[in-house]
Each structure stands twice: as structure tokens, then as C-alpha cells.
Amino acid sequence: MNTGQGLITIAAMMLLSILVLRINSMALNTGKALYDSKFGLLATSIATSMMEEINSKAFDANTDSVSVTSLSQLTAPNKLGPESGEVYPNYDDVDDYNGYTRTDSSMPSAVFNVSCKVVYVNAASPDSPSTSATWNKKITVTVSSPSMQDTVRLSTIFSYWYFR
């Protein structure tokens, strides 16, 4: 083998090495993207389940058995949260979930941290908490995990309707 053939062989080995490194890098990036998607989907499912559970409850502690017709009959904004003696899973109204947190380790692939926040909002500005009781409560469920890059946050407005 002469010098020309040796150089061609070395160049071919370099090209092959670069190609192998490139393919390995793409495979690792694809695997990472698959895990991110999987964890994002699981977090979204957990948040949706939590949101459905909350939406199945009464609007307020004072509306679980009777109708109210005045905002003054609703729980004060600074009192949102479980009433004395109430513990999860025996919450009976939406605002009991304010400040609720839990760690969900039921999935075999990751541990998820779930937290809930409930605030009164005005219909005209649903992104800003109201300092007084309104007929609308904004529920925000946040799910995070050390295994995820991003945090999943779902929000909805829960309103109380009464008819005369």
C-alpha cells in the first residue's frame, strides 16, 4: 500500500467516524424528544384528571346544598381553601383545592408534583385575581417533574349561575 492509498484510508476512516458520531447524536436527541413528549403527555393527563375532579365539586361551601343570590354569601377571597377539618379527598367545593399539593409517584417513569390554585376573577379580566368575591373562580393546576424540561399549567374558569 502506497502513501496515496494510506491517506485515502485515513480520510475514509475519519468520514466514517464523523458519520457514526452524527448518527449517535441524532439517536440520543430523538430519544430525549420521545421522553419529553411522554412526560408532557403524562403531566397533561394528570392535570386534566385533577381539573375534572375539581369541576365536579360545588362552586362554594355555601352553594353545595342551597342557592345563593348575593356575592356576600360566598366565601371571602382570603378564606379560599379547605374549611376546618376538611382533608383531601373529602373536599366538597372548588375553593377547597386552593393551596392543595401532592406528589404523584404512581407512574413507573417519573414522579410528578401537582399543585392547585383557586382565585376569584372578574369576567372582564380573567387573568387578574379579584380582591372581592365574584361569580367566577379561576382554577389553575400545575404539574412539574424533575424529569421534564417544562411545566404543564392548565387553567379554567368555574362560574356560578342562579336563576330567579
One-letter-per-residue 3-state SS of 100-151:
CEEEECCCCCCCEEEEEEEEEEECCEEEEECCCCCCEEEEEEEEECCCCCCC
How far apart are alpha carbons 28 and 20 in whole angstroms? Answer: 12
Per-residue pLDDT at 4 exceeds 90: no
Model confidence, pTM = 0.80
The pair phi, psi for residue 117, each rounded to 5°, is -140, 135
- Rounded Cα distance, 84 and 153, in Å: 28
Give yes or no for a contact between 80 and 14, defined as CB atoms under 8 angstroms apart.
Answer: no
In the chain, what are the domain boundaries?
A: 3-159
Over residues 114-140, the pLDDT tens digits come to 999 999 999 899 999 999 999 999 999
pLDDT in tens, 74-92: 999 999 999 888 999 899 9
C-alpha cell at 61: 361551601
